[in-house]
Amino acid sequence: MHHLKTLALTLALGFPLSALAAGIPVKMYKNPNCGCCDRWAKYLETNGFTVETINTPDLVSVKEKHHISANLAGCHTALVGGYVVEGLVPAKYIKHMLADHLPIKGLSLPGMPVGAPGMPGTAAGPLNVYTLGTGLAPKVFATF
Ligand SMILES: [Cu+2]
């Protein structure tokens, strides 16, 4: 009986650690002066991701490397599971993209609109998430 209790305790204590270790890894390139990226990273971590933050003053070259056009640029560029996540994209859309192995380059929420994850407040209107890698014309992936 005592042995079982110990085992149960070990499992209970071990669970949060293994849950953290199992987080979906995200690498986020951001400007050290931007705060909403950090809030977005925290939000992702409460939604099953583990975020590695890379501060860089030269986000322009990161965006060039991943072919992010100016109209789809957000305040940070993140890499997850071979996809690019540009800006404050909600976690559920990233999970959908990963789970369904969508044949796209990634997702973008351009700019830093109020109401997006990491930007507190109520959105002035519906926010669009765009598909990356579909040529010059932005294609709406989802609206929330
Ligand atoms: Cu930011």
For the entire predicted model, the pTM comes to: 0.84
Helix, strand or coil, per DSSP, at residue 138: coil
Between the CA of 118 and the centroid of ligand 1 the distance, in Å, is 8
How much distance in Å is there from the Cα of 96 to the middle of ligand 1? 23
Domain CATH code at residue 102: 3.40.30.10
pLDDT for the residue 138: 81
- Is the pLDDT confidence value at 16 over 60? no
CA-CA-CA-CA dihedral for 111, 114, 120, 121, to nearest 10 = 180
* Residue span of the structural domain in which 104 resides: 24-143
How many A from CA of 8 to the centre of ligand 1?
Answer: 42
Residue 139 lies in a domain: yes
**Whole-number pLDDT of residue 22:** 75
68 CA distance to ligand 1 middle (Å): 16
Token digits of residue 136: 């010059």
**Number of folded domains in the chain?**
1
* pLDDT > 90 fraction of the chain, expressed in percent and rounded: 81
Q: What is the mean pLDDT of the chain?
A: 89
